[in-house]
């Protein structure tokens, strides 16, 4: 999820950078047009200033033009302002994402330390009570063997392990022997 958010923020940042670059190109073109117009105006003034009548008109208009500043210097373009705000938002979002990533890494590191500490405690407990560990291991092995056995093997195991199972077998074998010996006599 973090990678997806970072990728989205990077894509948004690239898009904003493209918009900013296009805006800078537009501003540069306007600046070039302004400078070209200013140069043309200066040349025109130089030509007009050669005439006595026209010179007085130019002097009056020069005073008015001196009060007017460069149009791009004082103008705050709403598009540039929006783009700059968006860049600030993206930078803030990226910083928050990086912070969340660092916090997640810290949590992972804490959990890893807890896991290792618990594993060490478990190993220490096994070493301090070896008889308990052996007993638990043998119970696990017996349970695993019992699960792995086939149903017929389980049935035979139940017969053999039943109380008096050997006695039952002994009685049956003796009764067969007695029957066979009686047949021989007859």
Q: Which of 23, 47, 75 is the last residue of a domain?
A: 75
One domain for residues 28 and 41: yes
How does residue 82 score in pLDDT terms, banded at 50, 70 and 90? confident
Over pLDDT 90: what percentage of the chain? Answer: 3
99 pLDDT more than 70: yes
One domain for residues 29 and 53: yes
Residue 77 φ then ψ, to 5°: -75, 130
One domain for residues 20 and 59: yes
180 pLDDT more than 70: no
Range of the domain at 97: 80-142
Tell me the pLDDT tens digit for each residue of 101-142. 888 888 889 899 999 999 888 888 777 777 777 888 889 888
Residue 162 lies in a domain: no
Secondary structure in 3-state letters for 136-171: HHHHHHHHHHHHHCCHHHHHHHHHHHCCCHHHHHHH
Q: How many domains does the chain fold into?
A: 2
**Helix 78-128 crosses helix 2-48 at what angle (to 10 degrees)?**
160
One domain for residues 15 and 37: yes
One domain for residues 24 and 84: no
One domain for residues 68 and 102: no
Nearest Cα neighbor of 93 from 2, 184, 186 is 2
One domain for residues 92 and 66: no
pTM above threshold 0.85: no
């Amino acid at each position: 999820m973090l990678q997806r958010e970072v990728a989205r923020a990077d894509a948004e940042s690239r898009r904003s950078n493209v918009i900013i670059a296009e805006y800078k190109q537009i501003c540069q073109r306007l600046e070039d047009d302004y400078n070209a117009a200013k140069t043309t105006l200066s040349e025109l003034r130089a030509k007009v200033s050669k005439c006595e009548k026209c010179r007085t008109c130019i002097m009056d208009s020069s005073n008015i033009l001196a009060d007017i500043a460069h149009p791009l210097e004082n103008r705050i373009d709403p598009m540039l302002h929006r783009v700059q705000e968006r860049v600030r938002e993206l930078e803030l979002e990226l910083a928050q994402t990086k912070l969340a990533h660092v916090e997640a890494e810290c949590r992972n590191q804490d959990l890893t330390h807890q896991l290792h500490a618990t594993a060490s405690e478990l190993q220490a407990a096994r070493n301090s009570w070896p008889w308990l560990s052996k007993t638990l291991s043998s119970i696990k092995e017996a349970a695993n063997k019992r699960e792995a056995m086939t149903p017929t093997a389980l049935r035979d195991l139940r017969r053999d392990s039943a109380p008096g199972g050997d006695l039952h077998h002994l009685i049956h074998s003796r009764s067969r022997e007695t029957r066979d010996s009686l047949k021989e006599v007859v």
